């Protein structure tokens, strides 16, 4: 490789220590955040921002039409990162802290799904809880023994464009291609053209709405030359046709039912366990 970018998020230091045997130049604190999903509580599309007892901010957001998303927690992860899940304590915490503000408190039994992630937070040496840590990022470019190595420390979703632009600004000269930045006004994939209201009028309205909001202008690619539901292949689960599964495999590298149901879409929330199983079986049949 002419250059290597370590964008392993919360695992950035592990990547340096493992494959590259390099000491980290920054310290990260890894802080798990968990979310719970319950059946819809909100009367309309507005979200609520609530304050927890210790001053942290919690949110309740209308989610996927029929649900409400509640988050989040901050739990320092000190061991090696594995498959992080919301603990029973975190679920109880979210229920208890939101209960202060709700006429009808959320009960842990109401939770239909939960998920957790780990934030890569730069350790700026300040004492205090995770809420007080900076959400800023740092980019370190070094040229160890071989190709130049750029490591991304920290970062937010909201700043990813600035971060990416800065990263490419640093790498351009290294690659002998110091082009001026051009992405600030570039549209993201799926937003290249206005959504076309006339696209696929033959799709049932609910399916059309879901596909359009998931894929934006890429829906035209997904549908290809299809001119009716019969062109979308087998309906593997309600509202999920083979054509979408093939698109997700080819364009987004989905490899299993979990990728489709929970990572690329949130269809898992809307389907029953036997329907989700149908998707898993489809992948099994397809890959055998
Ligand atoms: C609970 C929670 C709430 C958040 N809320 C917000 C928010 O409201 N607003 C906001 O802007 N940001 C938020 N963030 C932060 C945001 O999600 C992260 O900052 C962002 O995902 C960082 O992006 P990244 O690409 O650097 O790392 P990641 O998204 O973590 O991606 C790193 C990738 O590297 C892969 N990887 C790791 N090691 C290796 C290896 N050795 N080889 C190959 N691949 C590897 C991982 O599998 C992963 O896919 C939140 C994060 C969490 C956890």
Residue 22 Cβ inside 6 Å of ligand 1? The answer reads: no
Is the model's pLDDT at 167 over the cut of 80? yes
Residue listed under structure tokens 């206005």: 194
Residue listed under structure tokens 């399916």: 207
Residue 83 Cβ inside 6 Å of ligand 1? The answer reads: no
DSSP symbols for 131-167 = GGS---EEEEEE--SSS-EEEEEE--STTHHHHHHHH
**CATH assignment of 205-287, given 3.30.300, 1.10.3470, 1.10.8, 1.10.10?**
1.10.8
- Tell me the domain boundaries of the chain: 4-27+131-174, 28-122, 205-287
Residue 157 Cβ inside 6 Å of ligand 1? The answer reads: yes
Residue 118 in tokens: 């780990």
DSSP code for 10: G
DSSP symbols for 174-225 = HTT--PPP--TTPPPTT-SS---TTS-TTS-HHHHHHHHHHHGGGHHHHHTT
Residue 152 Cβ inside 6 Å of ligand 1? The answer reads: yes
What CA–CA distance (Å, rounded) separates 117 from 134?
18
Q: What is the pLDDT at residue 54?
A: 87
Is the model's pLDDT at 6 over the cut of 90? yes
67-84 tens-digit pLDDT: 999 999 999 998 887 888
106-121 tens-digit pLDDT: 999 999 999 999 999 9
Residue 72 Cβ inside 6 Å of ligand 1? The answer reads: yes
Residue 7 Cβ inside 6 Å of ligand 1? The answer reads: yes
Q: How many CB atoms lie within 10 A of CB 207?
A: 18
31: which residues sit within 8 A by CB, 6+ positions away? Answer: 74, 75, 76, 77, 118, 119, 121, 130, 133
218-273 tens-digit pLDDT: 999 999 999 999 999 999 999 999 999 999 999 999 999 999 999 999 999 999 99
| CATH superfamily name and code, 28-122 | D-Amino Acid Oxidase, subunit A, domain 2 (3.30.9.10)
If you measure from the C-alpha of residue 119 to the centroid of ligand 1, how many angstroms do you get, rounded to a whole number?
7
Q: What is the pLDDT at residue 146?
A: 81
Is it true that 28-122 and 205-287 share their CATH fold? no
What CA–CA distance (Å, rounded) separates 50 from 57?
6
Name the closest-CA residue to atom 37, ligand 1: 8
Name the closest-CA residue to atom 29, ligand 1: 9
What CA–CA distance (Å, rounded) separates 93 from 108?
10
If you measure from the C-alpha of residue 150 to the centroid of ligand 1, how many angstroms do you get, rounded to a whole number?
17
């Amino acid at each position: 490789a002419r250059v290597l970018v370590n964008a392993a998020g919360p695992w950035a230091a592990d990547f340096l220590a493992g494959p590259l045997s390099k000491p980290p130049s920054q310290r990260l604190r890894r802080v798990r955040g968990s979310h719970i999903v319950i059946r819809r509580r909100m009367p309309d599309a507005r979200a609520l921002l609530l304050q927890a007892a210790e001053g942290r901010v919690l949110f309740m957001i209308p989610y996927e039409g029929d649900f409400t998303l509640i988050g989040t927690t901050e739990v320092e992860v000190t061991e090696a990162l594995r498959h992080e899940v919301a603990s029973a304590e975190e679920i109880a915490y979210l229920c208890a802290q939101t209960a202060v503000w709700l006429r009808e408190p959320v009960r842990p039994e109401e939770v239909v799904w939960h998920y957790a992630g780990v934030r890569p937070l730069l350790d700026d040496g300040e004492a205090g809880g995770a809420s007080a840590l900076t959400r800023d990022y740092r980019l370190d470019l070094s040229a160890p023994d071989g190709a130049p190595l750029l490591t991304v420390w920290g970062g937010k979703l909201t700043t990813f464009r600035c971060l990416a632009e800065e990263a490419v600004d640093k790498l351009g000269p290294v690659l002998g291609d110091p082009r001026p930045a051009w992405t600030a006004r570039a549209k993201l994939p799926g937003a290249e053209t206005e959504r076309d209201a006339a696209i696929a009028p033959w799709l049932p309205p609910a399916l059309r709405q879901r596909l359009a909001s998931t894929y934006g202008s890429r829906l035209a690619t997904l549908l290809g030359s299809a001119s009716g539901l019969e062109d979308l292949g087998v309906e593997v689960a309600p509202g999920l046709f083979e054509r979408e599964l093939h698109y997700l495999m080819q364009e987004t590298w989905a490899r299993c039912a979990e990728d489709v149901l929970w990572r690329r879409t949130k269809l898992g929330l809307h389907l029953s366990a036997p329907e989700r199983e149908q998707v898993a079986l489809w992948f099994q049949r397809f890959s055998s």
